[in-house]
């Protein structure tokens, strides 16, 4: 069987690249051993147009967001599922100074699409926010479990998926084609996430700085409050003083030292940690403690942790994705380096890279996988 492209890996990068190529009527075969813990770790992968450190706009967000909405909405229709949850973020201000910084950003026209200038003073008695909140619009989350599983089933139905590990030594390059286990293709594109580092012999010199992350799935325990009505202070004879239960609301994603993302049914994803030393795949007690102690500063309610996840982010030194064809062998390509922002970067750059593959359109120099090699050669 002959294909246009073999795509190795079906995380968010491989999924969006496959989708873009299929939309251009290319014949593809996807090879994926099983989902990595990284994809699975983020049931609700957040996207935010704002970087909270200094309230600056995320890189290229004006272009990334419209493509994100377009592609995920189209995929929801194609796969007949709902995985895109558009939801504003409430950022808890850490100080008056931070609030002032926010208010200054709100004046700039470039931020009007992303920040509400009204400060939210009160949201829930269960959240500690003495300086109030800033509200970010055009944010949300994508349920990667749902999306990746549904796209996998779609590929299976169309007989476009091989569920196995691709071993590099089984690849043969012959007559300008790639051959692997009885199939051939014009090109093979690796979308392997962190697996690429130290494993993929064709791309063993890429500037990855992998970062492990952990997160928790949890639900707040019921919290009761005395109802403060005159009757409660002076209840009629025989009438019990009334209580009412307050719930942590699910209207917004809450952001402070941790992000608290509602995923429905009173459940929240609490994330996430960053570790550059421990790159083991397993969740740790240390990670859990770190998240819980940050959470304690924000929530006035006890929570029950129902599960803990960890994964490894394919982060790059300069925080930009990596894509392109191999300078010595144009039959091999890479689409990787989505780092901490796979949900937001993958749709736009899948289209960008597809345009490069099909029409030879220029890649942005910032995302060309061999940008660092070029720099070294210049010296
Ligand atoms: C704790 C945590 C929280 C995160 N939160 C967010 C968030 O809120 N928002 C956000 O946008 N991003 C978030 N991220 C980052 C996001 O998970 C990554 O950007 C994204 O998963 C990268 O996708 P990928 O497809 O490149 O790699 P992966 O998700 O790792 O997928 C790679 C796939 O390739 C397969 N594979 C690899 N090698 C082979 C081979 N040789 N043969 C066959 N199959 C192979 C793997 O099995 C896997 O299925 C988070 C990450 C972590 C760890």
CATH of the domain at 37: 3.50.50.60
Regarding whether 146 and 115 lie in a shared domain, the answer is: no
**Which of 288, 313, 338 is the last residue before a domain boundary?**
313
**What is the structure's pLDDT at 281?**
84
Tally of structural domains, the chain: 3
**What is the structure's pLDDT at 121?**
95
Regarding whether 293 and 216 lie in a shared domain, the answer is: yes
Regarding whether 147 and 270 lie in a shared domain, the answer is: no
Residue 337 Cα to ligand 1 midpoint, Å, equals 9
pLDDT > 70: what percent of the chain?
91
Per-residue model confidence as pLDDT tens digits over 302-325: 999 999 999 999 999 999 999 999
Domain span including residue 269: 211-313
Whether the CB-CB separation of 9 and 166 falls below 8 Å is answered with no
Backbone angles phi, psi at 264, to 5 degrees: 95, 160
Per-residue model confidence as pLDDT tens digits over 116-175: 999 999 999 999 999 999 999 999 999 998 999 999 999 999 999 999 999 999 999 998
Atom of ligand 1 nearest to the CA of 199: 41
pLDDT at residue 110 tops 80? yes
Regarding whether 151 and 287 lie in a shared domain, the answer is: no
Element (H, E) at 172: strand 171-174
Regarding whether 286 and 248 lie in a shared domain, the answer is: yes
* 287 touches ligand 1 (CB under 6 Å): no
Whether the CB-CB separation of 155 and 168 falls below 8 Å is answered with no
Peptide bond into 237 cis (omega under 30): no
Q: How far apart are CA 350 and CA 347, in angstroms?
A: 5
- Tokens 């970087």, located at residue: 51
Regarding whether 163 and 129 lie in a shared domain, the answer is: no
Regarding whether 106 and 244 lie in a shared domain, the answer is: no
Whether the CB-CB separation of 270 and 216 falls below 8 Å is answered with yes
More confident site: 229 or 258? 258
Mean pLDDT of 69-79: 98
Residue 267 Cα to ligand 1 midpoint, Å, equals 23
Instruction: Please state the pTM of the whole predicted model.
Output: 0.93
**What is the structure's pLDDT at 378?**
42
pLDDT at residue 347 tops 80? yes
Whether the CB-CB separation of 134 and 111 falls below 8 Å is answered with no
**What is the structure's pLDDT at 325?**
97
**What is the structure's pLDDT at 379?**
38
Whether the CB-CB separation of 88 and 252 falls below 8 Å is answered with yes
Backbone angles phi, psi at 91, to 5 degrees: -95, 120
pLDDT band with cut points at 50, 70 and 90 for residue 372: confident
Regarding whether 305 and 277 lie in a shared domain, the answer is: yes
Regarding whether 278 and 234 lie in a shared domain, the answer is: yes
Lowest mean pLDDT across 37-41, 183-187, 199-203: 37-41
Q: How far apart are CA 124 and CA 133, in angstroms?
A: 11
Regarding whether 285 and 270 lie in a shared domain, the answer is: yes
**239-246 long-range contacts, Cβ below 8 Å, gap at least 24?**
246/124, 246/125, 246/126
Atom of ligand 1 nearest to the CA of 342: 19
Q: How far apart are CA 288 and CA 323, in angstroms?
A: 34
Regarding whether 244 and 183 lie in a shared domain, the answer is: no
* 345 touches ligand 1 (CB under 6 Å): no
Residue 346 Cα to ligand 1 midpoint, Å, equals 11
pLDDT > 90: what percent of the chain?
81
At residue 75's C-alpha, the angle toward residues 69 and 79, to 5°, is 150
**What is the structure's pLDDT at 221?**
85
**Which of 98, 123, 138 is the last residue before a domain boundary?**
138
Q: How far apart are CA 239 and CA 234, in angstroms?
A: 10
CATH of the domain at 284: 3.30.9.10
Length of the chain in terms of residues written: 379
Mean pLDDT of 185-192: 98
Per-residue model confidence as pLDDT tens digits over 234-281: 555 555 555 567 889 999 999 998 999 998 889 999 999 999 998 888
* 13 touches ligand 1 (CB under 6 Å): yes
Identify the top-confidence range among 153-162, 194-203, 295-304: 153-162
Q: How far apart are CA 194 and CA 217, in angstroms?
A: 23
Regarding whether 170 and 47 lie in a shared domain, the answer is: yes
* 332 touches ligand 1 (CB under 6 Å): no
**What is the structure's pLDDT at 9?**
96
Please list the residues that pair with 178 across neighbouring strands.
173, 185
**Which of 138, 153, 169 is the last residue before a domain boundary?**
138
* 35 touches ligand 1 (CB under 6 Å): yes
Output helix, strand, coil percentages for the chain, rounded to the nearest 5.
Answer: 30, 30, 40
């Amino acid at each position: 069987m002959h294909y246009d492209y073999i795509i190795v890996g079906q995380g968010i990068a491989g999924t969006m690249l496959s989708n873009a190529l299929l939309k251009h009527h290319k014949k593809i075969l996807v090879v994926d051993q099983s989902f990595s813990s990284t994809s699975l770790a983020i049931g609700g992968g957040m996207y935010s147009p704002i970087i909270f450190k200094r309230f600056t706009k995320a890189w290229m967000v004006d272009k990334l967001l419209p493509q994100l909405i377009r592609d995920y909405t189209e995929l929801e229709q194609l796969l007949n599922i709902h995985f895109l949850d558009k939801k504003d973020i409430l950022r808890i201000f850490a100080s008056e100074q931070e609030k002032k910084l926010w208010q200054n950003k709100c004046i700039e026209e470039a931020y009007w699409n992303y920040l509400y200038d009204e400060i939210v003073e009160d949201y829930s008695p269960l959240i500690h926010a003495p300086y109030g909140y800033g509200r970010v619009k055009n944010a949300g989350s994508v349920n990667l479990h749902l999306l990746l599983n549904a796209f996998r089933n779609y590929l299976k139905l169309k007989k476009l998926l091989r569920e196995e590990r691709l071993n590099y030594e089984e690849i043969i390059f012959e007559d300008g084609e790639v051959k692997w286990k009885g199939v051939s293709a014009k090109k093979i594109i690796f979308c392997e996430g962190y697996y690429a580092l130290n494993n993929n012999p064709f791309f063993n010199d890429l500037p990855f700085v992998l970062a492990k992350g952990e997160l928790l799935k949890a639900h707040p325990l019921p919290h009761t409050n005395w109802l403060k009505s005159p009757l409660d202070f002076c209840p009629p004879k025989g009438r019990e003083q009334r209580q009412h239960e307050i719930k942590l609301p699910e209207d917004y994603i809450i952001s402070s030292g941790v992000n608290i993302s509602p995923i429905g049914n009173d459940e929240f994803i609490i994330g996430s940690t960053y570790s550059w030393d421990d790159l083991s795949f397993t969740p740790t007690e240390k990670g859990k403690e770190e998240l819980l102690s940050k959470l304690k500063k924000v929530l006035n309610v006890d929570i029950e942790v129902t599960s803990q996840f960890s994964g490894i982010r394919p982060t790059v030194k300069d925080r930009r994705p990596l894509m392109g064809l191999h300078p010595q062998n144009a039959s091999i390509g890479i689409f990787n380096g989505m780092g901490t922002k796979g949900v937001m970067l993958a749709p736009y750059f899948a289209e960008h890279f597809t345009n490069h593959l099909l029409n030879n359109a220029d890649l942005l120099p910032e995302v060309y996988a061999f940008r660092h090699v070029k720099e070294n050669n210049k010296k």
